[in-house]
Structures are given as C-alpha cells and as structure tokens.
Amino acid sequence: MRETTDLYRQIQAGDHWAETRLTIGESGRLIDEYGSTITFGGAAVSVGSSGADSGFGEDKLISVSTSSRMFSQEGIAVGSCVSGEIDVELIKPAGEIVRMARLVPYVRITDGEQHSEWIQKGVYYIDTREENSDDSGIMIFKLHGYDAMLKAEADYPESALDWPAADIDVVREIAAFMDVALDPRTVDAMTKAYPVQYPGEYSCREVLGYIAAMYCGCFVMSDLGELRLITLGGMPVETRYLIESSGSAITFGGDRILV
C-alpha cells in the first residue's frame, strides 16, 4: 500500500474529489514528479488538470484512465505477467509527441480548500496515437499505451549468472534487462531461493510467469513503474475495500467498508 500523509487521510474522510495530472517525456527519461516542463522538438510540453502548477492546466487534459489488474482477465490464476494500460485524451500540444514517449499520471484529492500530495499511478509508454478534430475544429490527441511489462516479451538476454540460478537473481537480471527497478516487496516475498534452470529460448515473460507460479502469484508493474510479485497470500488489504468508480473509498460513519 502506498503511504499517504495525514492531510490525505483527513481529506479522504470527508467530501472530496480527485484531480489528475499527466507528464509526458521521451522514452526512458525520468520526468520531474511536479510536472516540470519537458521539450519535444524545441516545444515545451506539460499537461494536466490540476491547475497552474502543471503547465497547460485542465484546459488541455481532457481525460486520463488507467487499467491495471493483479491477475489476468480470466480471473485469479497464478503464473501470469499482467500488463497495465493507459488511455489519454488531450488537446494537441505544440511539438511532436513521439512514439513510445513516457506517460506518468498522478492523482491527488481535494475538498476544494485543501489539496493532498500527488500520488504517482504508474509509468506507461505510448503505443498508438490518433488525431482528430472536435466539432469546433480543435485538434484532439488520443493516446493509448502500456506499462513496461511488454518489455518482458523479448528472449531471455545473455546471462552473467551461474546456472541453475536462484529465483531472485533471475528476476533481478530480467528487471535490469527491462531497465526497471525491482519493487522491494518482491525481494521480501521471494525468500525460498528456488533453483531455476537456464531458460534457453524462453522469453523473459515466460520465465517470470514460471517463477510467479512457484510463489502462487503474478508479476505486475507497480505505481512507481517497478517490477512487483504479488502472491495470493500477500494481496494488499486495500484491495478488499469497497470503492467508487473513481477509486475513492466508500465509507460508513467515517470508516472504510471491508469486503
């Protein structure tokens, strides 16, 4: 579970709504979490719906939605590597948004007077772009992207490990190949040191799925864009709370409802 401040929890306990911001950057480039300006072809680009602190403001960002699951669409089935997706609509900014540009959405909550901290909600890369004009002739960009799990589709890379290798060492090598960090909770969960044979012509995703199955879990990308193993026994308690379609908690007498 992501740690939140006392202010966040205070706002969450009352009437509140969510605000969203999105930063866009070149593939593999880390963007300042507060939405500092980046450049495409010399043109400054920073979009968001949160006000003056995020570039163009809400007049540019139309919608942002993300889809991420702990398990595959077929239900609770272990041994999967589940990709997250993002859909964005925004008024076309100046400059070119290149293919595979990095998309990082953030969310905060507000009661109209106070604002919580920004919370990062994933790291995604543009896969498709669609450009259309609305009824008034304004050009609208529609972007669809995936998180870094798709990088695991490649064949297992040249290895520096001694085989058979410990499971956590294999996962670390795959994460390095994918150019992502390893979520610390993955290290905490993988304590068995199962031996893994050299994967030969298998893909990184197949190897991760094999290791995930041994731990009765699945691999996903975390909100910070890190490779994470989630096991059936280690599902975070926040996934068992009732929430609204926006993701806000449903409360009764100020208490969250556990199901």
> Is the predicted pLDDT of residue 168 greater than 70, yes or no?
yes
Domains held by the chain: number: 1
For 56-100, the pLDDT digits (tens) are 345 578 888 888 766 555 556 789 999 999 999 988 776 667 777
Looking at the domain assignment, is residue 210 inside a domain? no
Question: What is the rounded CA–CA span in Å between residue 208 and residue 211?
Answer: 5
> Is the predicted pLDDT of residue 234 greater than 80, yes or no?
no
Measured N-to-C along each axis, helices 167-178 and 204-214 cross at an angle, to the nearest 10 degrees, of 140
Q: Which range among 130-144, 154-168, 191-205, 237-251 shows the weakest confidence by mean pLDDT?
A: 237-251
- Residue 142: how many other CB atoms lie within 10 Å: 15
Which of 123, 32, 128 has its CA nearest to residue 83? 123
Q: Based on the number of CB atoms within 10 Å of its own CB, is 143 exposed (0-12), middle (13-18) or buried (19 or more)?
A: buried
Looking at the domain assignment, is residue 41 inside a domain? yes
Q: How confident is the model at residue 139 (pLDDT cuts 50, 70, 90)?
A: confident
Residue with tokens 């920004």: 118
- Both tokens of 211, joined, read 């290791």
In 3-state terms, the chain is what percent helix, strand and coil (to 5)?
20, 35, 45
Please indicate whether residue 223 or residue 27 has the higher confidence score (pLDDT): 223
> Is the predicted pLDDT of residue 133 greater than 90, yes or no?
no
Element holding 40 (H helix, E strand): strand 38-40
User: Residue 50 carries which side chain, given as an amino acid letter?
Assistant: S
Q: How many angstroms separate the most distant Cα atoms in the chain?
A: 63
Looking at the domain assignment, is residue 124 inside a domain? yes
Q: How confident is the model at residue 23 (pLDDT cuts 50, 70, 90)?
A: confident
pLDDT, position 255: 60
Looking at the domain assignment, is residue 50 inside a domain? yes
pLDDT, position 250: 64
pLDDT, position 208: 97
Length of the chain in residues, anyone? 259
pLDDT, position 107: 86
- Both tokens of 33, joined, read 């979490």
Question: What is the rounded CA–CA span in Å between residue 200 and residue 100?
Answer: 29
Q: Which domain holds residue 107?
A: 6-69+83-148
Q: Which range among 73-82, 101-110, 193-202 shows the weakest confidence by mean pLDDT?
A: 73-82
Q: Where are the beta strands (DSSP E) in 46-123?
A: 47-48, 61-67, 85-91, 102-110, 119-120
Looking at the domain assignment, is residue 96 inside a domain? yes
Question: What is the rounded CA–CA span in Å between residue 198 and residue 85?
Answer: 31
Looking at the domain assignment, is residue 257 inside a domain? no
pLDDT, position 60: 75
Looking at the domain assignment, is residue 108 inside a domain? yes
pLDDT, position 50: 38
Omega before residue 105 within 30° of 0, cis: no
Q: How confident is the model at residue 177 (pLDDT cuts 50, 70, 90)?
A: very high
Interval 235-246 mean pLDDT: 53
> Is the predicted pLDDT of residue 53 greater than 70, yes or no?
no
> Is the predicted pLDDT of residue 150 greater than 80, yes or no?
yes
- Residue 204: how many other CB atoms lie within 10 Å: 24
Mean residue pLDDT across the chain: 79
Q: What is the DSSP string of 156-168?
A: PPP--SPSSEEHH
Looking at the domain assignment, is residue 180 inside a domain? no
| Buried b or exposed e, range 103-127, using 16+ CB within 10 angstroms | bbbbbbbeeeeebbebbbbbbbbbe
Q: What is the pTM of this model?
A: 0.76
